[in-house]
């Protein structure tokens, strides 16, 4: 009986390690952060500003069009998210995207100190535009 229990326990441990390795855990984002609204109204100027920052800070991982196929993407595990994936992106609130850019999650760096709040909210507008634009195949 003891041996059986031990085998069961070991089995469970292996299973949970397996799950942890294969499942991408969700980001834990505080509720009040999720609810935050973008203080910046969408405009050509805001998108243009965001594109410059994106090309400089994000495109090496997420790719020029947000597909997650940047030049450095191969080096990372998990790989950079596909920001054009509308079914995934529509699950996120603006506040969540802002939080993800602000805090980062390995291997994605935190942009809290690298970018101003305004720049990060501008990026939220740009990230939104990636998923709503018709994807070319």
Q: Please report, as ranges, the residues that interact with ligand HEC according to CB under 6 A.
A: 24, 57-58, 60-62, 76, 78-81, 83, 88, 92, 97, 100-101, 105, 107-109, 111, 123, 127
Q: How far is residue 51's CA from residue 123's CA, in Å, rounded to a whole number?
A: 8
Retrieve residue 56's tokens: 């400089």
Strands (E), the chain: none
Residue 19 beta carbon to ligand HEC: minimum distance, rounded to whole angstroms: 16
Retrieve residue 126's tokens: 């740009």
Residue 95 beta carbon to ligand HEC: minimum distance, rounded to whole angstroms: 12
Retrieve residue 5's tokens: 């229990």
Nearer to ligand HEC (CB atom), residue 47 or residue 108: 108
Residue 123 beta carbon to ligand HEC: minimum distance, rounded to whole angstroms: 4
Q: How far is residue 122's CA from residue 55's CA, in Å, rounded to a whole number?
A: 13
Residue 101 beta carbon to ligand HEC: minimum distance, rounded to whole angstroms: 5
Nearer to ligand HEC (CB atom), residue 4 or residue 26: 26
108 forms beta bridges with 105
């Amino acid at each position: 009986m003891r041996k059986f229990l031990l085998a069961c326990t070991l089995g469970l441990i292996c299973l949970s390690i397996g799950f942890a390795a294969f499942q991408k855990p969700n980001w834990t984002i505080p509720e009040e952060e999720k609810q935050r609204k973008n203080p910046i109204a969408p405009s050509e100027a805001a998108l243009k500003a965001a594109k410059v920052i994106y090309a400089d800070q994000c495109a090496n991982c997420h790719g020029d069009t947000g597909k997650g196929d940047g030049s450095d993407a191969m080096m990372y595990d998990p790989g950079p998210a596909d920001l054009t994936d509308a079914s995934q992106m529509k699950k996120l609130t603006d506040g969540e995207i802002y939080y993800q850019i602000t805090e980062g999650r390995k291997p994605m760096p935190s942009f809290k100190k690298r970018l101003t709040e305004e720049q990060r909210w501008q990026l939220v507008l740009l990230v939104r535009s990636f998923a709503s634009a018709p994807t070319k195949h």
